[in-house]
């Protein structure tokens, strides 16, 4: 079994992620559309993940080292590809999520920096758990990003996906679950996330002047609210207020029973007010599995260029198959954290 594992786990992290991106990019072109074919490739990527995880475990028995950590990161990427190919309701999907969480909890990162599982102090009894990974390698403080998962995703699963992306970027990350933040009956989401800002600001390894926020799915709207309400946020990957704007339009249309009741000038003014509240550079991920449409993001981008507002838009590659759309998370995550690195670590 060990020999088989070493034969499967022959690539390093860069090669594994390059192969994952290429595989996802070529899904439709290669005809990997039917459920049987997807199951085959899901099993293949699961085997690759298992092989890297086993090799990581074997190496860790001889003592923590960079090779063991790199195999763990390779396993996380492989498992994420498999998870995208399997139906979310499948027991196999739950098994893979459990493997990702196990690696994320026990992984010792490069140069011995460990992942910390935290309880963020908030209003009683609303303390909530989070995961923290520090990028600090010297006495210098590093920027940090609060990463909020999409609906139904745990903080550990998000950490497992993002760890291979942030390694080497000089960014520390704190991951929290959308469900923990948004479903608390005692506190508002922005208050709970401000508690995360309090925690990071007090850490001796964090530069409190360079803290960003990144929200996925509905958490993109929550990230906007935090950036608009707390001046300590210096970069935001968010929806720039578009989700609330679309909901407002839908409500007005429903009440008036008429479409196009808000003219373009009023709409432009409203979006301008939302943007001024942000007070920090923003990145909007449009299309794909997010909550912002490409058309809305394009209109917003044009207005930002006119008003000299620092806002950028990226559109993740979506692969359309008969069994549903699959997002090329590898390239999208690279683009998002390249932008965060530019705005924070190099800002």
| DSSP-based three-state secondary structure for 327 | strand
Residue 254: exposure state from Cβ atoms within 10 A (0-12, 13-18, ≥19): exposed
* Region for residue 308 given its phi and psi (left: phi exceeds 0; alpha: psi -120 to 50; beta: otherwise): left
* Higher pLDDT pick, 91 / 43: 43
Select the highest-mean-pLDDT range: 170-174, 300-304, 307-311: 170-174
DSSP 178-228: HHHHHS-SSS-HHHHHHHHHHHHHH-TTEEEEEEEEEE-TTHHHHHHHHHH
Contacts of 65 (CB under 8 A, 6+ apart): 59
Residue 4 has pLDDT above 60, yes or no: no
The pLDDT of residue 5: 39
> What pLDDT, in 10s, does the model give residues 209-266?
999 999 999 999 999 999 999 999 999 999 988 876 665 555 545 455 555 555 555 5
pTM: 0.87
275 within 8 A of 240, measured Cβ to Cβ? yes
Residue 32 has pLDDT above 90, yes or no: no
CA 309 – CA 302 distance, rounded (Å): 10
Select the highest-mean-pLDDT range: 77-86, 119-128, 238-247: 77-86
* Higher pLDDT pick, 35 / 60: 60
The pLDDT of residue 108: 55
Q: Which fold has domain 115-345?
A: Rossmann fold (3.40.50)
The 3-state secondary structure of 295-308 reads HHHHHHHHHHHHHC
The 8-class DSSP code of residue 337 comes to H
pLDDT band at 2 (very low <50, low <70, confident <90, very high): very low
Mean pLDDT over each residue of the chain, to the nearest integer: 82
Residue 6 has pLDDT above 50, yes or no: no
Please give the backbone phi and psi of residue 94, each rounded to the nearest 5 degrees, phi first: -65, -40
Residue 43: exposure state from Cβ atoms within 10 A (0-12, 13-18, ≥19): middle
- Helix ranges (H only) for the chain are 2-8, 13-25, 35-60, 66-85, 91-106, 155-166, 178-182, 189-202, 219-229, 242-256, 264-278, 294-307, 329-340
The pLDDT of residue 34: 60
Q: What number is the average pLDDT over the span 44-60?
A: 89
In the sheet that holds 311-314, the strands lie side by side as 116-120, 128-133, 172-176, 142-148, 206-215, 233-237, 282-285, 311-314
- Domain locations in the chain? 2-106, 115-345
Please give the backbone phi and psi of residue 39, each rounded to the nearest 5 degrees, phi first: -60, -40
Q: Tokens 């992984």 identify what position?
A: 107
* 116-120 vs 128-133, strand pairing mode: antiparallel
CA 109 – CA 107 distance, rounded (Å): 6
Q: Chain centroid to CA 189: how far?
A: 18
Buried b (16+ CB within 10 A) or exposed e, 227-251: bbebebbbbbbbbbbbbebeeebee
Residue 160 has pLDDT above 60, yes or no: yes
């Amino acid at each position: 079994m060990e020999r088989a594992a070493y034969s499967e786990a022959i690539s390093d992290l860069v090669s594994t992620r390059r192969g994952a991106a290429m595989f996802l990019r070529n899904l439709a072109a290669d005809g990997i559309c039917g459920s049987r074919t997807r199951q085959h490739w899901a099993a293949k990527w699961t085997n690759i993940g298992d092989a890297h995880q086993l090799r990581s475990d074997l190496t860790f028995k001889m003592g923590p080292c960079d090779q063991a950590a790199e195999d763990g990161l390779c396993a996380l990427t492989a498992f994420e590809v498999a998870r995208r190919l399997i139906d979310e309701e499948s027991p196999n999907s739950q098994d893979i999520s459990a493997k990702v969480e196990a690696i994320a909890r026990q992984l010792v990162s490069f140069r011995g920096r460990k992942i910390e599982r935290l309880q963020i102090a908030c209003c009683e009894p609303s303390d909530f758990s989070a995961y923290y990974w520090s990028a600090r390698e010297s006495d210098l403080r590093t920027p940090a990003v609060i990463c909020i998962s999409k609906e139904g995703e745990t903080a550990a699963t998000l950490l497992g996906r993002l760890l291979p992306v942030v390694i080497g970027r000089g960014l520390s990350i704190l991951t929290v679950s959308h469900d923990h933040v948004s479903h608390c009956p005692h506190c508002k989401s922005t208050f709970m996330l401000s508690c995360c800002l309090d925690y990071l600001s007090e850490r001796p390894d964090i530069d409190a002047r360079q803290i960003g926020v990144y929200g996925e799915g509905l958490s993109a709207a929550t990230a906007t609210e935090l950036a608009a309400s707390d001046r300590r946020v210096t970069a935001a990957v968010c929806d720039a207020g578009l989700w609330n704007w679309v909901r407002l339009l839908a409500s007005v249309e429903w009440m008036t029973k008429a479409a196009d009741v808000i003219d373009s000038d009023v709409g432009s003014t409203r979006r301008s007010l939302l943007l001024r509240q942000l007070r920090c550079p923003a990145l909007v991920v449009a299309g794909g599995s997010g909550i912002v449409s490409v058309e809305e993001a394009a209109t917003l981008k044009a207005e930002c260029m006119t008003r000299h507002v620092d806002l950028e838009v990226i559109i993740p590659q979506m692969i359309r198959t008969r069994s549903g759309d699959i997002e090329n998370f590898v390239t999208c995550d690279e683009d998002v954290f390249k932008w965060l690195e530019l705005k924070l670590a190099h800002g």
